[in-house]
Amino acid sequence: MELDHPTKYLLDWFVRYTKNRDIVFRKISDVKEEGNKAIVEQKDGRKIHYHAVPFPEDIEKTAASLTEEHKGLVVYNTKENFDNLAKAWKKLAEIKNLTIYFVNPFSKLDKKWIINPQVHNSISDAASLKQGLVSMFMMVDPTTKEDVERLTK
């Protein structure tokens, strides 16, 4: 199955990021790619399945459809993806072992921000949740679907 340009670019970026990050931590034994997914095998036996879904129409349904014990979504850092996260927060916070990477490889600031909704929900104050999420979102330049499609051709 041939991936579209935005998905392929996002997956390639994520695999490079994961391998480079592991230079310090040395926890990974292998990284495999299957379709739009990067499977990260750790030395402790844990496998984490990261699904590159650049612009999920419904992030809640997309996350809920992931059946692996340890799973992640890798999406572009767009306003739409952020709004979908905020809107679906309560349901996402119920999904165990879910990590979401918001990525903009073209950002002049940080390139990604990462959140585990279940963990974040358990340690954050409900009153300041939205402000905290906005702060993380703004650490990475937001992008648009149009910009990503243009820059990844």
Q: Give how many domains the chain has, as a whole number.
A: 1
pLDDT in tens, 79-101: 999 999 999 999 999 999 999 99
Kindly state the helix (H) or strand (E) to which residue 51 belongs, with its residue range. Answer: strand 47-52
Q: Give the structural domain span for 128.
A: 5-151
- The tens digit of pLDDT for each residue in 2-61 reads 999 999 999 999 999 999 999 999 999 999 999 999 999 999 999 999 999 999 999 999
pTM: 0.96
CA distance readout (Å), 113 to 50, 101, 123, 149: 15, 6, 17, 21
